[in-house]
Amino acid sequence: MKQADISQVSHYLQQLQDNICHGLETEDGLATFTEERWNHTGGGGGRTRFMAKGKVFEKGGVNFSHVRGDTLPKAATVTRPHLAGRKFQAMGVSLVMHPDNPYVPASHANVRLIIAEKPGSDPIWWFGGGYDLTPYYAFEEDCVHWHKTACQACLPFGENIYKNYKKWCDEYFYLKHRKETRGVGGLFFDDLNEWDFEKCFAFIRAVGESYLQAYLPIVQKRKHESFGEREKSFQCYRRGRYVEFNLLYDRGTIFGIQSGGRTESILMSLPPTVQWQYNWQPTEGTAEHRLTEKFLIPRDWV
């Protein structure tokens, strides 16, 4: 892999961050992203962009990073023990948006490239990423739109790509201790290098550029729904599941911490307000009950 290839990916990811931030700011209509630039101890750094107290988004962030290190973190070598001890570069865009209105789902997206390097050997690279949707009050048509958009983004790369990465997403964003999915899924992929570099790069561009197409129509449809204390309380309760997943299972969070990344940027994904209620159970037949009974299980949406 040429150094020019790495620069090309890094340049694209910064453009993607710019485009997504512009789309989300336009949709919010009030809040704008503030930017902090930071340096990594091993080399490189990133641009953290953070939004809070908007008209639509209570909290959100869109981060770009391109960092280097002397040793791949354990999170990256668990399934690749032969790469332990190699130097690395990691670059990506990662975002999480937490809306104020409980009828608007939270969303997450990430695209990344990791390169393991060793003197005298060719670098080993792989792409990863995806996006997923976490509704509190779920609607069939929103889930169908989200997954159809993901499916269309994948289709040029093979008929089974969406099916395989949708299944991977269902399995990955699963809270084992709760026996439920975090949300209604989407796409998740890692270790992507079975195609040549250009095709893999084209695929993450397709995923990255379809995120706003998948998310903004749902935001536009639900952001004017009226809500009260009951809905906000349930939103805060369900946000607790988001925190549990990110701190216990999320590979990106673990990789970032292990690689000495910027803690504020890594934990930016956590929601602003959360509740844990002991052994709370929704009343049967309510919208809150339907979420877990009908939506937080793997389903075919397309």
**Residues in Cβ contact with 225 at an 8 Å cutoff, skipping those fewer than 6 apart:** 101, 103, 104
108 among known catalytic residues? yes
Catalytic option among 66, 98, 108, 147: 108
How many other C-beta atoms lie within 10 A of the C-beta of residue 124?
17
Catalytic residues: 108
